[in-house]
Chains A and B, each alone.
Chain A
Amino acid sequence: MSSIVSYGSYIPRFRIRVEEIAKEWGENPENIKSGLFIHSKSVPGPDEDVLTISAEAAKNALRRTDLDKSKIGAIYVGSESHPYAVKPTSSILVEALGLSYDIHSADYEFACKAGTAAMQNVMAMVDSGQIENGMAIGADTSQGAPGDALEYSASAGGTAILIGKNGFADFNATLSFTTDTPDFWRREGEKYPSHGGRFTGEPAYFKHVLTGAKKMMEKMGTKPEDYDYAIFHQPNGKFPTRAAKMLGFKDEQVKDGLLTPFIGNTYSSSMIIGLSAVLDKAESGDRILGVAFGSGAGSDVFDMTVNDRVKSLKRERAKGVMEQVNNPIWIDYATYVKYRGKIIMRGA
Chain B
Amino acid sequence: MSEVPRFWRESRHRYRLVGTRCTNCDTLYFPPRVICPTCRRESVGKMKEEEMSGVGEIYSFTVVHDGLEQFKMQIPYVMALVKMKDGPLVTAQIVDCSPEEVKIGTKVTATLRKVRSEGKEGIIQYGYKFTICP
A/B touching: CB–CB < 8 A: yes
Identify the A interface with B (CB < 8 A): 12-14, 45-49, 51-52, 55-56, 83-84, 87, 92, 95-98, 319, 323, 327, 329, 338-339, 345, 347-348
Q: How far is the CA of A84 from the CA of B113 in the complex (A)?
A: 15
Give the 5 A-B CB pairs with smallest separation, nearest first.
Answer: A47-B113, A96-B15, A46-B73, A55-B112, A47-B114
Q: Are A49 and B72 in contact (CB under 8 A)?
A: no
Q: How far is the CA of A329 from the CA of B97 in the complex (A)?
A: 8
- Number of A-B pairs whose CB atoms are under 8 Å? 62
Q: Are A338 and B134 in contact (CB under 8 A)?
A: no
Q: Is the interface of B mostly helix, strand, loop or mixed?
A: mixed
Q: How far is the CA of A338 from the CA of B73 in the complex (A)?
A: 7
Q: In this complex, what residue of B is CB-closest to A92?
A: B126
Q: Give the residues in chain B near A51, CB-CB below 8 Å.
A: 112, 114, 124, 126
Q: Within the complex, what minimum Cβ distance (angstroms) separates B47 from chain A?
A: 19
Q: Give the residues in chain A near B38, CB-CB below 8 Å.
A: none
Q: Of B69, B112, B120, which contacts A52 at CB under 8 A?
A: B112
Q: How far is the CA of A172 from the CA of B82 in the complex (A)?
A: 47
Q: Give the residues in chain A near B114, CB-CB below 8 Å.
A: 47-49, 51-52
Q: Name 20 A/B residue pairs within 8 A (Cβ), A-sorted.
A: A13-B96, A45-B96, A45-B113, A46-B74, A47-B114, A51-B124, A52-B113, A55-B15, A55-B112, A83-B124, A87-B123, A92-B15, A92-B126, A97-B16, A98-B16, A338-B73, A345-B72, A347-B69, A347-B119, A348-B120
Q: Give the residues in chain A near B89, CB-CB below 8 Å.
A: none
Q: How far is the CA of A96 from the CA of B120 in the complex (A)?
A: 22
Q: In this complex, what residue of B is CB-closest to A55?
A: B112
Q: How far is the CA of A322 from the CA of B15 in the complex (A)?
A: 27
Q: In this complex, what residue of B is CB-closest to A87?
A: B123
Is there a chain A Cβ closer than 8 Å to B11's Cβ?
Answer: yes
Q: Give the residues in chain B near A45, CB-CB below 8 Å.
A: 95-96, 113
Is there a chain A Cβ closer than 8 Å to B85's Cβ?
Answer: no
Q: Given A45-B96, A47-B114, A347-B119, are A52 and B73 neighbors across the interface (CB < 8 Å)? A: no
Q: Give the residues in chain A near B16, CB-CB below 8 Å.
A: 95-98
Q: Give the residues in chain B near A96, CB-CB below 8 Å.
A: 15-16, 112, 126
Q: Within the complex, what minimum Cβ distance (angstroms) separates A323 from chain B?
A: 8
Is there a chain A Cβ closer than 8 Å to B86's Cβ?
Answer: no
Q: Give the residues in chain B near A97, CB-CB below 8 Å.
A: 16
Q: Within the complex, what minimum Cβ distance (angstroms) separates A197 from chain B?
A: 31
Q: Give the residues in chain A near B96, CB-CB below 8 Å.
A: 12-14, 45, 329
Q: How far is the CA of A13 from the CA of B69 in the complex (A)?
A: 24
Q: Are B12 and A52 in contact (CB under 8 A)?
A: no
Q: Within the complex, what minimum Cβ distance (angstroms) separates B110 from chain A?
A: 10
Q: Give the contacts of B53-85 with A (CB-CB under 8 A).
A: 69, 72-74
Q: Of A87, A327, A339, A345, which contacts B134 at CB under 8 A?
A: A327
Q: Given A338-B73, A348-B120, are A47 and B129 neighbors across the interface (CB < 8 Å)? A: yes
Complex interface bits, B5-43 against A, C-beta within 8 A gives 1, otherwise 0: 000000110011000000000000000000000000000
Q: How far is the CA of A51 from the CA of B123 in the complex (A)?
A: 13
Q: Give the residues in chain B near A339, CB-CB below 8 Å.
A: 73
Q: How far is the CA of A45 from the CA of B72 in the complex (A)?
A: 13
Q: Are B119 and A56 in contact (CB under 8 A)?
A: no
Q: Within the complex, what minimum Cβ distance (angstroms) separates B125 from chain A?
A: 11
Q: In this complex, what residue of B is CB-closest to A329?
A: B96
Q: Give the residues in chain B near A48, CB-CB below 8 Å.
A: 113-114
Q: In this complex, what residue of A is CB-closest to B120?
A: A348
